[in-house]
Structure 1
Amino acid sequence: MTVLRACLAALLGVILGANVMAQNAGSGTVLDTLFAKLQAATDPSAIQSLEAAIWEQWVMVPDMSQRALMMRGIAEMQQQELKTAIETFTRLIGVAPDLSEAWNKRATAYWLMGNFPASLADICETVKREPRHFGAYSGLGMIRAEMGENARAVAAFELARKWNPHIAGIDGEIERLKSLGGDGSAGADPLGCGRPST
């Protein structure tokens, strides 16, 4: 799992370093285009650029006060002020509950603190709002694997791979988990989020 952990650590760097000041012009259409290009991309530098552009779209907040909260929370995470970051993202969720990345950022902070139940709950809220969130699915897979829920981990990693087939180490991790019994059915709620996966 070390390769996948290293990849997710790198993803965390992209998450925290994403440009929050980008303009929000038709982000749904922009994301659709970026995801289509990501599926077809083969050049490593193009893949990296597309991944960064998707993260940038996710952290966009058009409202200035909400943007300030997002930027503050990201800065607090960068400074390892995780409890404060959780408070900031909780405030942001309170005023913008449909903002998927606010939930994902708080999930990440909870995960870094080792609070898996809270992180899982927020990841489920993230993917409810953004069903293509490969970062959230990757985090969900890691947590499920650490909890020994191999079938649910596989389901999460497969969704991460569906939306971003370029995640380093994910194929090997899926195969490893399947060899440990993760190739069985995860039931009607494969992610453990209280609903069928997409």
Structure 2
Amino acid sequence: MRIFFAFLTSLLVSGAIYGPAWADDAVAPPATQDAPPVATTKQARLDQLFSDLKRERNEKAAERIAGNIWNEWSQSGSASIDLMMQWSQKAVEGQKFDVALDFLDQVVTLQPTYAEGWNRRATVHFMMKNYGKSMSDIDHALQLEPRHFGALSGLAQIMALTGHKQSALEAWQKVLAIYPMMRSAQDQVGTISEELAGEGI
């Protein structure tokens, strides 16, 4: 259990859940006559980033692409929603989980099609060990964005913590199908596969 909590904490600290430190990298340079056209819609940018992420075999380069994806996910299109997301982050950092949930309840109510709102609330529920509520929010996030490797990682952790190793393995494998160079997912697939082999599944 400590391993999973430490993993989640490292995601929070690194900004993987709450927005990458290298978010500025996601700003596309203005197109020139000689440059190829820059994807203009959020969906087009995400599709290109996911395509790049799947092909990338350099771990650090893949992390930068994943950071750009998080940057796209974090943009709700609403200044008030973005502000509530920031407030929820500060509340989590201060271990004020109930306060964070209050903000995130408002986020998902006001903008139910914003996948990152659901993912963020799932994360807070996970930290409070409300696994059922976390899984419900993960389901919402994945319905809106099936490629959300953060939400899938959360699902994998819950499955492992609740003793469903095979389901955890399958969730981590889905993560790797989207983000092949995610080191933590690679490690978990290896570890859980060995454990299941030892149990003679």
Q: Deviations over 1:131-174 (max 9, x none)?
A: 00111111110110111111211121111111111111423422
In the alignment, the residues of structure 1 paired with residue 20 and residue 183 of structure 2 have an alpha-carbon distance, to the nearest angstrom, of 20
Q: Aligned residue for 2:30? A: none
Structure 2 match to 1:61: 76
CA RMSD for the aligned pairs?
A: 2.6
Structure 1 residues 2 and 75: alpha-carbon distance in aligned structure 2, compared to 1, 3 A threshold = closer
Aligned residue number for residue 48 of structure 2? 33
Q: Mean Cα displacement is larger for which, 93-102 or 6-15? A: 6-15
In structure 1, what is the equivalent of residue 9 of structure 2?
Answer: 9
Rounded Cα–Cα distance in structure 2 between residues aligned with 1:165 and 1:6: 21
Structure label with greater radius of gyration: 2
1:93 to 105, 108, 126: 108
- TM-score under structure 1 length normalisation: 0.81
State the 1:177 CA deviation. Answer: 2.5
CA distance in 1 between partners of 2:109 and 2:47 (Å): 27
**What amino acid maps onto 1:131 in structure 2?**
P
Q: Are positions 1:170 and 2:178 aligned together?
A: no
* Matched residue type, 1:10: S
Structure 1 alignment gaps of length 5 or more: 183-198
Mean CA deviation greater in 2-11 or 132-141: 2-11
Distance 2:147 2:71 in 1: 14
Equivalent position of 2:146 in the other structure: 131
Paired residues in the alignment total: 182
One-letter code aligned to 1:49: R
Structure 2 equivalent of residue 110 of structure 1: 125
> What CA distance in whole angstroms lies between the structure 1 residues aligned with 2:127 and 2:7?
15
TM-score (norm 2): 0.80
* In structure 2, C-alpha distance between the alignment counterparts of 1:12 and 1:90, rounded to whole Å: 20
1:179 CA drift (Å): 4.2
Question: Structure 1 residues 107-116 or 65-74, which shifts more?
Answer: 65-74
Residues 141 and 154 of structure 1 are in contact (CA less than 8 Å); yes or no, is this contact kept in structure 2? yes
